[in-house]
Amino acid sequence: MTSLMPGGSIDIAGKTISRLGFGTMRLTGPGTWGDPQDRDQALRVLRHAVHTHHISHIDTADAYGPHTVEHLIRAALYPYPDHVLIATKVGMVRPAPDIWAPLGRPDYLRASVEASLRRLSMERLELCYLHRRDPEVPFADQLGTLRELQEEGKIGQIGLSKVTVDDIREAAKEIWIGAVQNVLNMADREDPVVAVLRDLSIPYVAYRPLNAGTLAGQHAPVALNWLLNLGKHVAPIPGTSSPQHLAQLVNACTDEAV
C-alpha cells in the first residue's frame, strides 16, 4: 500500500498515510454552507479518493456545512478501512454562509466532540484539531478539555489549526501535539511554523495548498510538489468537488518529491 500512496507516506496519529491528503471543505453548498448541489458526486469523490487514488488522509471539520461533510464521509466510507485517517476539527461555529467564529468554551468543545463521534459513527476521533484558538477563553482551558476527552478515550491525538510559533510553545505545556494545520502555498509561503515543526518532528498539514484554486490547473504540479519538497513532515490537503479534478491533483504529485 505504501508504494501506491500519492506523495509518499507520513506517520500521523499512529497511522502511516499518504502525504497527499484530501480536504473536504468544498463538499458543501456555496459559502461552505448546507448540502452540496450534487450529493451523489460528493460521495463519489470521497470514494474515489480512498478506493481509486489510495489517499488515506481525509480532513474535515464539524463546521463544514455545518455538520454536512461529516455525514457525507460516514455515508461514503463507513466502515472505514483500517489504514485511513479521518481527521476532524471542533471549536468553530457557523452563524451564516461564509461566516466563521471561534468558540472554545469547554462545554461546547465537549459537546462538539460527542456530536462528531455520532455523525462519523466512531468510538474515537483518531485526530481532532482545535479549529481555532478562541481569544475569549483561556487557551489552557480549551486544550485541557480536549486532553480530558483524550484521557477518556474519545480522542486519539490532538491537533492545532491556524496557530503561531508562540501558540505551539504554549500548547506544548498542556498537550502532546499530534499535528498542526496552517495555510501554506506558493502565494502564501512564509510560515515559521514549518521549520519549528520539522525540529519537533510534528506533522505540518498544509491547507489551502492551491490558494483557493488560483494555483490549480497547470500550476498544480509545481504548487503541490513545492510543498512536498519542503520536508517529509509536510502533508498538503487539496480539495475539490470534482472526480476529474481529484484525478488531476493526484497525478500532479510526482515521484520526485522527497
* Active-site annotation, residues: 64
User: Diameter of the chain by CA atoms?
Assistant: 47
**φ, ψ at 22 (rounded to 5°):** -130, 115
Q: Which segments within the chain are labelled E, that is strand?
A: 9-12, 15-18, 22-23, 57-59, 85-90, 92-93, 101-102, 125-130, 155-161, 177-183, 204-207, 234-236
Written as one letter, the residue type at 191 is D
Q: Which residues of 212-244 are buried (b: 16+ CB within 10 A; e: fewer)?
A: eeebbeebbbebbbbbbebebbbbbbbbbbebe
Helix (H, G, I), strand (E, B) or coil at 28: coil
- Whole-angstrom distance, CA of residue 111 vs CA of residue 230: 37
Backbone CA torsion sign across 196, 233, 20, 100: negative
Distances (CA, A) of 137 to 90, 105, 160: 15, 6, 16
8 A C-beta contact, residue 50 and residue 58: yes
Q: What is the DSSP secondary structure assignment for residue 65, as one 8-state letter?
A: B
